Amino acid sequence: MSRPVFLLGAGAHPWGKWPDAPQVQLALHALRAALGDAGLGWRDVQGLVAASSRFEGGMGWGLHANEIVQLVAEQGIACVNVGGACAAGAIAFSTAHAMIASGQYDVVAAVGAERMPKGFIPRPPGSQDDIGDEDYLRWVTMGATNPAYWAIEARRRMHDHGTRPETFARAAVLMRSNAAGNPYARFRQPSTVAEVLASPLVADPLHLLEICPVSDGAAAVILVSHEIARRCGGRPVEVAGCAIASGAFGDPARRIPTISATVRPGVTHTSEVAGAVERAMSIAGIGPADVDVLEMADNTAWHLLAWPELFGMHAPGESDHLLETGKLAIGAGRLAINPSGGFLSFGEATTAQALMQVCEIAWQIRGEATGRQVPDARVGMTAVLGLGANGGSVILKR
């Protein structure tokens, strides 16, 4: 048996490059903001779930929750540290949610904080250099970069749906346009289709401004039971559904870093994310048409076209037309996509990104997203993908 869970606080540190702020400082900033938003203090927190980074902090073992409580609140609370690469924030959310839904806890915080290394992400220590390690294989046999995987999907979309280079560029322009109103976004200058197409081709058909860079940032949420939500007042938002999933056998997606796919007919593309979304919608008792605002992982412009189709919000191939006729802009159509500006305007701070998505949806549902508010947003959804075929989705509703 489970009980309802409410998001009572959301907080974040703006995205950017912060060489002078250690990762844990970004995390504490986000947690302080989330606790302030909830009207709670550290003494009220009974559990902390951290999305573990492999780049910094966590005592070298991914113990980011422990590191945080040892700095600010050594009070015997449950510390949970979860992996999941770029989906770790969604897994942290889902874990915190389960801790409250189970009845064991009434106030649990989830946090993700990241400072990304410069340039290409280095391989972790202890990797094997043999055919058992696909990351090793993709580098030494063909040098396939992450943008190459996404570009191969984008090229296939051009073949299947007639997507034009200008349409990919327009998706990137939309993200900048949305980000202009978001103080948490890193890249807020408006762009044009011509500028995007004039940026260097990284991997055809994708240009530099159609691919997300990396950033530093942190985000946190405070989840509570119904009793606490009622007692504290504040502005609780109900968690209508949340789910995590892994990939399905036969998925045709170009899954980084694999160099081959075993493809079976009828299996959903990017099944880890589509599966999480489907499960979250089922728990929430809603369908794709009920979602007013979607915060999704736009690692590239291609994702912005493909994913809403994958989730059933647009028919296959329909995104291009909706985008080109302005229907995906805030307030212009039935679904707003990434009013925050998305990964393209944030740059990805891997383990923090999914919690930033949840914060944005919370602000949207409460009507607090000044400068980028989706009018009358009642149902909001997040969708994120992480290495290892990890998918996560959270649905908040008014």
Partner 1 sequence: MPAAVSVVAGLFEEGPGGLRLLATRCTSCDTLYFPRRPTCRNPACETKAVEDAQLPRDGTIHSFTIQRYQPPAMFRIDDWKPYAIGVVDLGAGVQVMGILEGVAFDELAIGMPVRVTGRTLYRDPEGLDVRTFAFVPGGSEAA
Binding residues with partner 1: total (CB under 8 A): 43
Pairing relation of β-strands 47-51 and 107-114? parallel
Q: Is 299 helix (H, G, I), strand (E, B) or coil?
A: coil
Task: Say how far apart CA 305 and CA 175 lie, in whole Å.
Answer: 12
The DSSP letter of residue 198 is H
Binding mask 256-275 for partner 1 (x = CB under 8 A): --xxxxxxx-----------
**Cβ count within 10 A of residue 16:** 17
Interface of this chain with partner 1, residues 184 to 203, rule: CB under 8 A: 200-203
Q: Which amino acid would we find at residue 259? A: I
8 Å CB contact between 237 and 359: no
136 belongs to the binding site for partner 1 (CB under 8 A):
yes
**345 token code pair:** 């305007």
| Residues counted in the chain | 398
Q: What minimum distance in Å lies between the beta carbon of 278 and partner 1? A: 17
Q: What minimum distance in Å lies between the beta carbon of 193 and partner 1? A: 20
Q: What minimum distance in Å lies between the beta carbon of 262 and partner 1? A: 6
Mark the segment that binds partner 1 (CB under 8 A) among 3-11, 44-52, 137-145, 341-349: 137-145
Q: Is 397 helix (H, G, I), strand (E, B) or coil?
A: strand
Interface of this chain with partner 1, residues 231 to 250, rule: CB under 8 A: 249-250
- Nearer to partner 1 among residue 207 and residue 397 (C-beta): 207
- Nearer to partner 1 among residue 81 and residue 146 (C-beta): 146
Q: What minimum distance in Å lies between the beta carbon of 264 and partner 1? A: 6
63 belongs to the binding site for partner 1 (CB under 8 A):
no
- Nearer to partner 1 among residue 189 and residue 260 (C-beta): 260
8 Å CB contact between 254 and 131: no
Question: Of 218, 219, 206, 245, whose CA–CA distance to 344 is shortest?
Answer: 206
8 Å CB contact between 239 and 99: no
- Which phi and psi angles does 7 have, rounded to 5°? -90, 120
139 belongs to the binding site for partner 1 (CB under 8 A):
yes
204 belongs to the binding site for partner 1 (CB under 8 A):
yes
142 belongs to the binding site for partner 1 (CB under 8 A):
yes
Binding site for partner 1 (CB under 8 A): 119-120, 123, 129-131, 134, 136-145, 148, 151-156, 159, 200-206, 249-250, 252, 254, 258-264
